[in-house]
Structure 1
């Protein structure tokens, strides 16, 4: 009996190592006290087991619970407290080998199902976020060709032709930098190449289909493939291409690519809230006005409020018909 008494005193001390040890203030144990202490220790052990179990996912392989079962048995036997179970054992369910199905249990598929869920694509081409690194639709950066213009992924050889097209300061009035200046254009161009290389954005050069003259640039940005969302923006054209149909066809090509081939369900646009011409052009697509982000950005002329517009996959059929009609009317 004395052996039993000492065993439960040690167990109580182990279950609450921060508090003053039980053995320092309890009188010599009798049978009644032994029973009370045993019940208290058992209750604490079971409560800790429930707490540990709640932290485990429901779809883990059976071996993942082994550490907790061993800890429960040890606590009841008075060998050690649950809160002293090595953290490595409690996290054993995260080991890569537990994702594989045991050779002697071919019927268990939890590991393979979990691995499949981590890799599978969502409907419409969207993908889950990796643990680290850039996120981008593989199909997003492609050459897009229309009847008036061609959109080509930006490259170093486009630098000087784009610089010539960007020479008018009026083009950059509402942009973040003034690309009509040498330093401003170089910052804009280097940033475009960097974002393309990092796969954070998909910038294009807008060229005439007949003759190949460089007219300007546009891009996909704010990529959210895990939510099937993307933005079209950073669009500018040489003044000679304004009202030529180039912008209308560029929007048609990019929206068609986003909705019909990439699988987007939302395409958004933002512009300076003071840019009346740009807002009218977006409303003519038509894109839906969704509000103004106040003091949203700092641009080369000061603080900018951004007006947001969007088109969803539900809107796309009507928007496509309207853009095609507008282009046909120009011919």
Structure 2
């Protein structure tokens, strides 16, 4: 059990840009990021399965998409970030911090919406790492990941990133007219140092040869 003798409520996320090696996370701005997000998420090369497990979308018309982005920009919970390529400035998608409860020290990474060019790349891993690192730097004790229990891709990602499976909330919500059972995962503050070291080791230059990983995140965590 955590020692709360010196613990203080967590801080809220702010508008700072979170810098990584491959990408940076900028506070989502509908006007500045809209064209890039539309191209990444709804353009000709977009992942047609992207919206299957998201509560909204797809967006066949740009106007509805822009209205959606304006809502994301104005939201404080979730708090949204746009993923921007460090070398090219290309926009790859967005994700957010949500279920923000500073008094309890818990927060969640959610609304992970990555374009096809970013999926299963170091950029995707780094985006999650930057938000996880920020979450614990803000003073949170618990970082959550939740997804549709039928979403095999998201469940596999959670396990790869080092989240522990905690169970399934049956009939948790109604999703696009269908029942949603929700799978819950978490990393707590005592587990973060090992997870953090594994992320940093995996993202390091010397962990890649000819664009391929040498050691997996699981190997680097010793799991």
- TM-score class, shorter-chain normalisation, is 0.7 to 0.9
Higher RCO (CA-CA < 8 Å; seq separation 6+): 2
SS at match of 2:117: helix
Pick aligned residue for 1:144 from 18, 37, 42: 18
- How many angstroms does 1:244 deviate by? 1.6
Q: Secondary structure at the match of 1:171?
A: coil
Distance 1:177 1:187 in 2: 12
Structure 2 length-normalised TM: 0.81
> Which residue does the alignment assign to 1:154?
28
Structure (1/2) with the larger helix percentage: 1
Matches within 5 A, 1:11-160: 123-126=6-9, 137-157=11-31, 158-160=33-35
Residues in 1 aligned to 2:98 and 2:16: alpha-carbon distance in whole angstroms: 14
Q: How many residues align?
A: 197
- Gaps in structure 2 of 5+ consecutive residues: 210-223
Q: Which residue does 1:240 correspond to in 2?
A: 117
Change (3 A) 1:242 1:301: farther
Specify which of 271, 296, 303 is matched with residue 172 of structure 2.
296
Residue in structure 2 matching 1:319, options 191, 195, 199: 195
Deviating beyond 6 angstroms after TM superposition, the runs of 4 or more aligned structure 1 residues are: none
TM-score by length of structure 1 reads 0.56
The reply on whether 1:219 has 2:82 as its aligned counterpart is: no
Counterpart CA distance in 2 for 1:151 and 1:175 is: 21
Distance 1:246 1:265 in 2: 25
Shift of 1:123: 4.8
Q: Which runs of 5+ in 1 are unaligned?
A: 1-121, 128-136
Task: Report the counterpart of residue 208 of structure 2 in structure 1.
Answer: 330
Between stretches 205-214 and 320-329, larger displacement belongs to 320-329
Cα 1:186–1:125, aligned 2, differ >3 Å: closer, same or farther? farther
Alpha-carbon shift at residue 254 of structure 1 (Å): 1.1
| C-alpha displacement of 1:264 | 0.6
Structure 1 position 232, deviation (Å): 0.5
Is 1:178–2:57 an aligned residue pair?
yes
Residues 135-172 of structure 1, C-alpha deviations (whole Å, 9 max, x = no match)? xx344442101000000001122122211111133111
